[in-house]
Structure 1
C-alpha cells in the first residue's frame, strides 16, 4: 500500500527527513524495500509540517508521483520544521478524488496518515459511517477508506478522548467492522506522534543528533538503532520517550 513517516526533532529542511536519506520516503515511492502489498507508490503524495509559533500545520499534496513534481524539490530544500508527517500513496482502488485522497489529512492541529486498507471497502464502511453525524460525513475530504478512518478518529479527538485512546479505539472499531483490515495509522499534533502497527510493518528510531524520534513504514537508512514494532501495538512518542502498548485484537 502506502509508505509514510512522522518525525520530531530540531528544525531542519523537510528534505533532510524525506529526500536526503539513502532509502528515504522519496525513494520509497518507486523502490520500497519492505513493502508487502503493492510495488510502486505513484498515486499521490503529501507532506505536512508545523511553522514556528503556529499550532496549525501547513500541507502540500499532489495527485501524481512525488518524483514528477518539480516544485517539491524546492519546497523540501528551504522549508524547515521541527515536526513533519509525509506519505506516498498506492491507492486501494481507483477513484476520482485526486490529491484530496492523498495523506496527510488534517484538521485543527492534527496531521494524519493511513497505511493499509479497510477490507471489503466500500461495503464494510456502511456501519462505520453510520456512527458519524451527517455533517461530519459531508465534510469528508475524499471518498476513500483512509478518509473515513480519519473522520472516525477526528470525531473521537474532538469529543475529548486522549490521543492514544482515540487511536486505539478507532483501530479496534474498524478492525471489528472489517476483519482483516490493515490499519497502520500515524497522527501528530507537532509535539507528539501516535501510531498503530496493525497488519503492516512499522519501525521507530530515536535519539540521534538530528532527530528526537521518527516512526515510519520502513527504515530510511541502515542504522541498527531502528526498532521494528510488534504487530497489534500502539505507540505514543514525544521528544523524550516512546511508549509501546499492546492492542487487543477484536474477534472476527
Structure 2
C-alpha cells in the first residue's frame, strides 16, 4: 500500500503540507497511524505541483525513502504552490522498483496516485491489459499495478470523460477482473477527485480557502472528516461532495 495527499488552496510551501505536520506524509513513510496493509512506505516517493499560469505540473520523484533525500527539505522550503499531489510508496510484491514507478504519475495537466494493490500481479491481469489500446499498453509508465490502473484511467480521461465518471469506470473495470484495493487520487490543479476502495481517506475543508484530501490526518486538529469506504469524492476549496461508489452503477456528472 501507500499514503498520499492532495491540496488545493492559498499558496503554501510544500514543506508545510508534507514535511512539517506532526503526523504528515513524511512521518507516514515509516510510522503511519491508520494504514491497513503494510507498515513502512519506503519504496519511493514523489511530489507534483502547479505553478501559477502553467497548467502542466512539475514533478520530483525518487526511488528511495523520503527521509533519505537530502535535497527535499530545501526544495520543499522554498517552493510555494496552490495545488499539490504527493505520495510515499509501499510497492506491491513483484512490481518494478525505481522512480518511474513512484507516484505521482502524470499526463498533460493530470496527476495521479494509487493507494492499493491488484491481486494476482501480473499473471491474473491479462483481461485488464486487454482493455487498453496496444499503444497505451506498450507505453506504460512502469511495470507495476499502479501504472496499469493509471493507463486505464488516462484512456477514459482522454476520451473526454469527466473525473468522477472516469474514476468510477476504472474502479468498476478493475473490480470485475480482480480483487483489488483501489484508493485512487487525481488532480488537475483545479479539482481533486478520489475513491475509497479498501483503505482510509479523509478530507479537511476550510471553505473558500483550501481543501486537503489525505490517506490519514496529518495532525490531531479539528476539521478532518473520514470518507466512507466504496465512495467517490470531488473537492475544491469551496466544497466537497461524496457519493457511494458501486461495483456496477455508472457515475455521471454535468461538470467538475
TM-score of the superposed pair, with normalisation by structure 2: 0.94
- Contact 2:207/2:238 (<8 A) preserved: no
SS at match of 2:123: coil
The separation in 1 between residues aligned to 2:184 and 2:75, in whole angstroms, is: 25
Q: Which residue of 1 is the match for residue 254 of structure 2?
A: none
The separation in 2 between residues aligned to 1:208 and 1:38, in whole angstroms, is: 34
Offset at residue 51 of structure 1 (A): 0.6
- Contact 1:175/1:250 (<8 A) preserved: no
Offset at residue 96 of structure 1 (A): 4.1
Q: Which residue of 2 is the match for residue 146 of structure 1?
A: 146
The separation in 1 between residues aligned to 2:26 and 2:107, in whole angstroms, is: 25
CA separation of 1:95/1:230 partners in 2, compared to 1, >3 Å: closer, same or farther?
Answer: closer
Q: Which residue of 1 is the match for residue 117 of structure 2?
A: 117
The separation in 1 between residues aligned to 2:31 and 2:170, in whole angstroms, is: 31
Q: Which residue of 1 is the match for residue 184 of structure 2?
A: 185
- Contact 2:94/2:121 (<8 A) preserved: no
TM-score of the superposed pair, with normalisation by structure 1: 0.96
SS at match of 1:164: helix
The separation in 2 between residues aligned to 1:152 and 1:73, in whole angstroms, is: 34
Q: Structure 1 runs of 4+ off > 6 angstroms? A: none
The separation in 2 between residues aligned to 1:123 and 1:228, in whole angstroms, is: 34
Where do 5+ consecutive residues of structure 2 fail to align?
A: 250-256
Kindly report the root-mean-square deviation, in angstroms, between the aligned alpha carbons of the 2 structures.
1.4
SS at match of 1:70: coil
Q: Which residue of 2 is the match for residue 13 of structure 1?
A: 13
Cα deviation digits, residues 128-148 of structure 1 (max 9, x gap): 111111111111110100000
Offset at residue 93 of structure 1 (A): 1.4
Offset at residue 123 of structure 1 (A): 2.0
Where do 5+ consecutive residues of structure 1 fail to align?
A: none
